[in-house]
Structure 1
Amino acid sequence: MTTDWRTDTVDTLRTLVTRAEPDVVEEVKWRKPTNPDGVPTFSSSGLVCTLETYKDKVKVTFAKGASLPDPTGLFNASLDAGTRRAIDVREGESVDGDAFVELVRAAVALNRG
């Protein structure tokens, strides 16, 4: 497991997801030789988001992000995707915690219909 800024970023984002939805279910999926730690996924009445670690960023992908309100402009990746939207966090960057929590809550509400 890589222990650096990416690990800290994943830990921070994980904390924000669980703050937004305390009953969220975290699972690790898609383990492979090039990514033995796999990809953390968060679900509540369906997939909410995934946290992928890359060399130069941590990517938070919201499964139904295109349908979510994003008044503070957190989404900065996959903006042309039909359904999903993502937030790329690079070294030295941070995410607006309150806005992120609201985004997660909106995703959970959308899943619950």
Structure 2
Amino acid sequence: MKNSATTTGESPSRLIDARIKELDDWRGKTLSHVRALIKQAVPEVVEEWKWRGVPVWYKDGMICTGETYKSAVKVTFAKGASVDDPSGLFNSSLEGNTRRAIDFHEGDEIDEDAFKTLIRAAAALNRSPARKSTTST
């Protein structure tokens, strides 16, 4: 897996590791689990650290972000409105035309297969000819 450089000189992966350790509660465990599933789904994913502390995963474009809040770990799919969600995992940011998110709360079980399917679909969307034609015009 590749990492992009940051202005602090720390690798994004190390910064994400530190964030997970800093949380030291269910949110850290959930973010760690989500991260592992993303890496399983798209082994060549690139991790970045943006916006003063948000893990971001890329493959041919942004796949998703992993934000942590007091009562939720929010995984936001950059182009989620265009990603098929047959298992109905998206439960947040449903009103917009672009993004979709999944809010995980303490005690939630993650449907690992469905989540990895969403990650793969988001990565595939980034590689789709329709995406390339819209970004090159």
Sort the TM-score into its range (normalised by shorter chain): over 0.9
Match of 1:25 in 2: 46
Match of 1:65 in 2: 80
What letter is aligned with 2:34?
Answer: L
What letter is aligned with 1:8?
Answer: K
Partner secondary structure for residue 43 of structure 2: coil
Runs of 5+ consecutive residues of structure 2 not aligned to the other structure: 1-21, 129-137
Larger radius of gyration: 2
What letter is aligned with 2:98?
Answer: T
Match of 1:99 in 2: 114
How many percent identity over aligned positions?
59
Structure 1 vs Structure 2 CA RMSD: 0.5
Q: Which has the higher contact order (CA 8 A, sep 6+)?
A: 1
User: Structure 1 stretches (4+) deviating beyond 4 angstroms?
Assistant: none
TM-score (structure 2 length as normaliser): 0.77
Structure with a larger share of its residues in helix: 2
CA deviations 1:68-88 (Å, max 9, x no partner) are 010010000001111000000
Structure with a larger share of its residues in strand: 1
1:6 aligns with 2:27: yes
Q: When the two structures are aligned, how many residues end up with a matched partner?
A: 107
Contact 1:26 1:43 in 2 (8 A): yes
Instruction: Give the C-alpha shift of residue 99 in structure 1.
Output: 0.3
Match of 1:43 in 2: 58
TM-score (structure 1 length as normaliser): 0.93
